[in-house]
Structure 1
Amino acid sequence: MIAIPNECLSEIFNNFQDCYKILFSCLLVNRQWCRNIVPILWNNPLKDFRDVRIIKTYLLSLNAEEQAQLSPFGIMFPNDPKPLFDYTAYTTSIVDYNLCEGIKNWLDGEGRGITYYSKYDDYERIVRVIKSSLISMLLRKSKNLKLVDFYETVNDKIMMALVEILYRSAAIKNLNICFDNLESKEGKMLVEALHRNITPEYLRINDNQLGINEGRTNYVKFDFTEPWLSVTYNKNEEYHGIYLNSLYATGSLPTSIDGGIPKCKKIEITCESHDQGWSSYPQDQGTYNNSWTWGEISIIPNQNNDLRGHLIENESTTRYNVYTNKHAVKDWQTHNFVFLSDHPLVQSLQPGDIVGLYIRSCYPGWCNYIKRAEIKFYYTV
């Protein structure tokens, strides 16, 4: 009997990657089938890490340094024999929320007195420490990571491990992390690594304002699907009023990264807004004629970079219109405007400058409504 090539077996078994019972039965047929099926079963184990058996197997893969992080908490490691396969090497996705759920299940069942009913702060700290050790191990051993999703702020050590992977591998396609210090050494190295390895198809970096003193109202997303890098600032908050000259949303390029000084190529503004929905000029309704609600954009002078107020003194005298609402239309309208590289706004923008979107209205009764805005910078290094 002619043996089926491994490439053919892998192609066949991949069609059953969601059918765990079928794959497990096939795994017992012979060694060749077993070697082809184990990587499929463990590339995204049970889809979410919540199974206690998976956590036990992962704990067996910790090295001495990763185990040492857990020693102060009196955690008893599994004493099972070493696995036949290096299962962790096949992992292609790390979702730390699901990892936390699995750790809690393991603690509640085998944590030797450490349960949810322990002191809450201690329990949550132990979960975080175990999670940190397991993530460090997975980043160290996984050979083909495709998805990394950290919903909690990651520490510098994990960030550096992720940077090393990005430098040496082009496999990661989806990266979603919460890291609130892109101005740090680790943050700059992350941006530089992502600039050199532009393969991610989807990337979010949450809770970061790149040094802007404005709190964290806006949401930041980096995108690498274009020929150049881009950074996006989103704000989702409904606001309205008359006689408006209010700063609604802001965004800025980083001052620098290890690769050099970022050069802005274009700015794209998208927002949703509408007029107050009535007027005494029926001939203009539904048109842009005599509409007195609109939006403007400008570079905010450096002396006004405390953005907690509405910036009345020393405001920029040069503003550019980005949208006008339709006269007396109360339905939400999506506006999109792009400033290309030859526009004075783009040409004058320097690294570290802050761009602000102002919402405007004038005359009694002319009320400007806005609920969402996005400022997107495209740049090269």
Structure 2
Amino acid sequence: MEINELKHKGLNLLKHLIQTPSFSGEEEKVSLLIRQYLADFGVDYSTLNNNVYALNRYFDPQKPVILLNSHMDTVKPNKGYTRDPFTPEVENGRLYGLGSNDAGGPLVSLLNTFIYFYNHKNLKYNLLIAATAEEESSGPNGLNSLLEHLPPLAFAVVGEPTQMQMAIAEKGLLVIDAYAPGKAGHAAHDNTDNAIYNALDDIQTLRNISFEKVSPLLGKVKVTVTQIEAGEQHNVVPASCHFVIDVRVNEKYSNREVFDILDKKTKSKLQARSFHLNSSSISPDHPFVLAGIKHGRSIYGSPTLSDQSVLNCPSLKMGPGDSKRSHSADEYITLDEFFDATDLFIHIFEEIL
């Protein structure tokens, strides 16, 4: 397979992806585009809901499996757009359009990398490509729904805009609803069990809490109270005060461990909305990471969440584009970023395959 042919066909696919609205849960049409793209190269693929996945032609169940994953869905365009978000326009070396950067460019680059190696024999690893849905909404029918249908994974490369640097650790997310109890009563009377005051005590505890394990890549676990609500009348002490805790978890803890620590430190009733958005990481000595460093890539820790959070294998985040452009008005990816990514992914994989 000629790399230049792949790159230019990939650019055409990326333009079609931009033209096709693919909000989370509404990826049917882009899923069809990806299926057709794989079929045009003779790739035998499978589907689950809107997810599309495929194994390399000479899959060997005795060999470890590398997952190449990126998402096909986008957020909705914000009101700051000055261009049509669904019209792919190339101007001054930039391809503009919704999803061009997050994560169309990374997705197509990984699709092309998979296609390049698809017919190779005697690889040291199997390759598995998964173009998945509902990443932006952390929905139930994305990568998390697909995992039980896949073979065991040795490690994963998740395509997100990282300027083709390697995010070898990613913070997890834990959102907690807290309910401070109290005793309802008239504000004019003595009341020593005010739910708002009880909540403030816990909020002060959370403000000062410190977790012992600090990550060299992701720093400390960060706990932030982001919402609070209580009371309906000025003269009534409320019986309950609800507040929300946003916790960004480093790779030294699981979400459950962090929840248990916070639960012991506070008097309010805590309820986690989910435990599945865990932190993730891969060893800096992993063969893929070492191959990337050999090709001039740097390593760092990422504060943003991706589909890595649902994986139970070592993983890293990597792809063309810049995370700072994600969800921004007039989103774009440069043509150089897009074309160079396919070359670089192929060169790195050649080192380990």
For the criterion TM > 0.5, the same-fold answer is no
- Greater C-alpha Rg: 1
The TM-score, its normalising length taken from structure 2, stands at 0.29
Tell me the TM-score normalized by structure 1.
0.27
